[in-house]
Structure 1
């Protein structure tokens, strides 16, 4: 059996990550959703109610996490993304509008676009990646 010693004699390692899809899940599923107030409010709930609760819990516990978000969400809710980054959490790549590209060139171009948006808002480039379709 291999013994492993974590830094500072910690007993376990824990990775916390959250997806901030907000309105993008609804916008990408059906064109009618853009005008569907109930569906859009479901997406908005994440940024107005769910996310503040998660951030409060993380602060109370002294924990940091990675927040994978779309750049579209970052553009329409910049203050939230800036706040998360200012608290020392990582902002990770999750597409622009929760889309999937078919080629490396298309995905690379999209990553460059998202990188520029995140750098403008947080001063940092995204390092972590969670593909919108869950496939790496």
Structure 2
């Protein structure tokens, strides 16, 4: 490419994202027996993560389950006040491809009604697990969703901007035992991997994204940042993003708006 195609002369666009707010999924699976609104990831880990983002001047996208809007209303309002995007992650973190047509329609309706009542507009959607149904695209358009962040490639599909994520840029890929089969499918060991290994690979992916003049979504789950070692990885990654003028680090909604107005970003060069 002869000239940068991202804002301000940047060579690459990267979004720092977070998923899962509190116990929405646990409640859905009948695995939560503590008082609602007391999840340690929200009470202990998230405040430190938000402070780190502030310190580095980075605005993130948090994909939040709509159920959590009522339970953690003050937390969500604080995130929005800090300039972070609040996007959609299902009603209670449902496995999207397993939903029947009726259940998917109902999930959209319940989620967007909750968002309207709360006073937030969903510009984007990240499906739990990264996959959607064929009918999902029409539902996204009907509800005014501008972008989706699934597994896949950067593109505009059926009028919706696709801002993909890669498993290797997700903390859960390294830190969670149940991701063993996914690790194996990507050429890694089935056992969990260390924070230092995650950091090494993430920084390498950032370099590759800059070289390719592409887009990358980084994903940290607050419930997995339970150690100083893991939080230190996040701190160093944020420092890397904030210090590199060749990177446009922006919330997904801003990147989606840019892609929608500059389709050459997703069109291969001649």
Equivalence map 1:54-93=2 (5 Å): 54-93=49-88
Aligned-partner Cα distance in 1 for 2:74–2:20: 14
Query: Where does residue 22 of structure 1 map in the other structure?
Result: 22
Cα deviation, residue 81, structure 1: 0.9
- Whether contact under 8 Å (1:20, 1:46) holds in the other structure is no
Stretches (4+) displaced over 4 A: none
Cα deviation, residue 128, structure 1: 1.1
Q: Indicate the structure whose relative CO is greater, using CA pairs within 8 Å and at least 6 residues apart.
A: 2
| Alpha-carbon RMSD | 2.3
SS of structure 1 residue aligned to 2:41: helix
Q: Deviations over 1:46-92 (max 9, x none)?
A: 11111111111111111111101111111111111111122221111
Q: Which one has the bigger strand percentage? A: 2
Query: Where does residue 3 of structure 1 map in the other structure?
Result: 2
Query: Where does residue 129 of structure 2 map in the other structure?
Result: 133
Cα deviation, residue 11, structure 1: 4.1
Q: Is 1:124–2:130 an aligned residue pair? A: no
TM (normalized to structure 2)?
0.43
SS of structure 1 residue aligned to 2:62: strand
Count of paired positions? 128
Query: Where does residue 48 of structure 1 map in the other structure?
Result: 43
Q: 1:60 to 1:11 in 2, by over 3 A?
A: farther
Q: 1:59 to 1:134 in 2, by over 3 A?
A: same
Q: Is 1:34–2:32 an aligned residue pair? A: yes
SS of structure 2 residue aligned to 1:67: strand
TM (normalized to structure 1)?
0.79
Equivalence map 1:93-112=2 (5 Å): 93-100=88-95, 102-112=99-109
Q: Which structure would you say has the larger Rg?
A: 2
Q: 1:4 to 1:28 in 2, by over 3 A?
A: farther
